[in-house]
């Protein structure tokens, strides 16, 4: 029996990630002989693992989880401008973690509200850039195509656009949206089709939609949980 299947067995065969469960998340202390596995955390084995992680990672050390995700991170990077303390960054980080995004780039202010990340930032590579110019220069060095996401004049519909595989999706913040400098340096700007009265949707929601558009085009779905 594998570690993941033990945890799954305790939860019932029809259960998914433990966050979807009713009541307390996770598993109690390990029962029986402890497997010899350097990835396991002695403290979690002794006390139980109540973290918001998928069952396959129950009792694993945080570094071991990050290392495992690192073996199959996507060639997708996400950037969000943070010149006015954007409150959506936590949501963006959490979704990026769910999609095994390579790195989330914060542009502008270094500080951001981690609450919405629900601790997923501990498993996600994050990088800070002082300016948009720094981000663009870094992306060029890495051979990543920058695609801005906003509904501004000249944009192309995300619904029909072919996104580059080695890609950095760049989001703006509430109010100003994606900066002119970012759009000028982007390969293209993609918009998400809207049909109601609002001018735009929440940046965190827009990031989720755009990341999923990339996933539909480039991810190996047979490797999803």
Ligand X SMILES: C[S@@+](CC[C@H](N)C(=O)[O-])C[C@H]1O[C@@H](n2cnc3c(N)ncnc32)[C@H](O)[C@@H]1O
Binding site for ligand X (CB under 6 A): 149-151, 171-174, 177-178, 191-192, 194, 199-201, 203, 206
Closest residue to bound ligand X by CB: 172
Task: Give least dist CB 67 to ligand X, A.
Answer: 31
Task: Give least dist CB 210 to ligand X, A.
Answer: 7
Q: Which is nearer to ligand X, 26 or 208 (CB)?
A: 208
CA-CA distances (angstroms) from residue 27 to 49, 75, 183? 5, 33, 46
Task: Give least dist CB 131 to ligand X, A.
Answer: 17
Task: Give least dist CB 65 to ligand X, A.
Answer: 29
Name beta bridge partners: 173: 177
CB contact set of 74 (below 8 Å; sequence gap of 6+) = 99, 100, 101, 102, 214, 215, 218, 219
Assess contact for 45 and 34: CB atoms under 8 A.
yes
Task: Give least dist CB 164 to ligand X, A.
Answer: 17
Q: Which is nearer to ligand X, 161 or 201 (CB)?
A: 201
7: left (phi over 0), alpha (psi -120 to 50) or beta: alpha
CB contact set of 116 (below 8 Å; sequence gap of 6+) = 87, 88, 89, 90, 91, 93, 94, 204
Q: Which is nearer to ligand X, 11 or 144 (CB)?
A: 144
Q: Which is nearer to ligand X, 103 or 152 (CB)?
A: 152
Assess contact for 103 and 127: CB atoms under 8 A.
yes
Q: Which is nearer to ligand X, 100 or 178 (CB)?
A: 178
């Amino acid at each position: 029996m594998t570690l993941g299947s033990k945890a799954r067995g305790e939860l019932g065969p029809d259960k998914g990630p433990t966050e979807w469960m009713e009541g307390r998340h996770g598993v109690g202390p390990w029962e029986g002989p402890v497997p010899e596995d350097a990835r396991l955390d002695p403290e979690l084995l002794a006390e139980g693992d109540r973290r918001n992680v998928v069952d396959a990672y129950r009792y694993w050390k945080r570094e071991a989880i990050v290392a495992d995700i690192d073996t199959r991170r996507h060639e997708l990077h996400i950037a969000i401008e943070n010149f006015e303390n954007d409150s959506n960054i936590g949501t963006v980080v959490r979704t990026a973690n769910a999609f095994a995004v390579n790195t989330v780039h914060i542009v502008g202010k270094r500080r951001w509200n981690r609450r919405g990340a629900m601790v997923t930032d501990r498993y996600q590579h994050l990088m800070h850039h002082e300016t948009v110019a720094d981000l663009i220069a870094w992306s060029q060095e890495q051979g990543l195509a920058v695609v801005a996401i906003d509904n501004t004049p000249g944009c192309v519909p995300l619904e029909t656009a072919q996104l580059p595989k080695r890609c950095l999706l760049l989001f703006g913040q509430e109010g100003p949206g994606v900066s002119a400098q970012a759009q000028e340096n982007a390969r293209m700007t993609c918009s998400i089709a809207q049909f109601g009265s609002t001018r735009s949707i929440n940046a965190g929601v827009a990031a989720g939609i755009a990341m999923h558009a990339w996933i539909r085009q480039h991810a190996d779905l047979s490797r999803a949980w």
